[in-house]
């Protein structure tokens, strides 16, 4: 019997004893790709533009709510923070896409090799069939051969009729064959 996996063994704990959070790498990757995709949409740019316009209008017009005066340092800090998070998310999404592309390329390469092998096999089979068909007796070939045999028989029967002693025997045989037919 094969060795049971570590999950099936009784002397191996099912969960680790560390209290560190368990992260599903694929789930984190999918989530970050979703964010990166959203950052590249027109919807995100429209929302960001509206937020910036409202931010600026509130800080210029409403004197009581001016939490970020004219140089808008807090807004610049928010954009810097956003860029600091957006760049790695975009890189992560690009790396995941590159891995998917690599897998797809390997699969395409494997399919191309299989298609090439199949095509070469079919070409060899087709060549073998052409050779085999070339050796098959065709209807015209058989007719020509039968015509040649008939001509040979007619020549031989014509030559034997000319011999004096055999003419009667062959005519009798010819008459019998004519009567039976």
25-72 pLDDT tens trace: 888 889 889 988 898 889 999 999 999 998 888 888 776 777 888 888
pLDDT in tens, 72-97: 899 999 999 999 988 998 898 899 99
| Cα–Cα distance for residue pair 56/22, rounded to 1 Å | 42
Helices (H), the chain: 25-39, 42-61, 73-135, 139-162, 167-180
Q: Which two tokens stand for residue 73?
A: 């340092």
Residue 155 in this model has a pLDDT that exceeds 60 = yes
Q: How far apart are the C-alpha atoms of 19 and 36, rounded to whole Å? A: 30
pTM over 0.95: no
Q: What are phi and psi of 147, to 5 degrees?
A: -60, -40
Residue with tokens 């004519």: 178
């Amino acid at each position: 019997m094969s060795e049971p996996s570590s999950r099936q063994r009784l002397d191996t704990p099912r969960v680790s004893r560390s209290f560190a959070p368990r992260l599903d790498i694929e789930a984190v990757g999918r989530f970050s790709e979703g964010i990166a995709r959203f950052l590249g949409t027109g919807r995100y740019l429209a929302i960001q533009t509206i937020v910036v316009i409202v931010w600026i209008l509130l800080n210029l017009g409403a004197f009581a709510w001016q939490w970020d005066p004219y140089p808008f340092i807090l807004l610049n800090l928010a954009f810097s923070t956003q860029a600091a998070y957006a760049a790695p998310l975009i890189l992560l999404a690009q790396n995941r896409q590159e891995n998917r592309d690599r897998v797809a390329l390997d699969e395409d390469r494997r399919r191309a090799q299989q298609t090439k092998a199949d095509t070469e096999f079919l070409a060899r089979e087709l060549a073998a069939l052409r050779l085999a068909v070339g050796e098959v007796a065709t209807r015209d070939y058989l007719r020509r051969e039968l015509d040649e045999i008939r001509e040979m028989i007619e020549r031989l029967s014509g030559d034997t009729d000319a011999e004096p002693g055999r003419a009667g025997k062959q005519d009798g045989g010819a008459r019998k064959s004519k009567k039976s037919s």
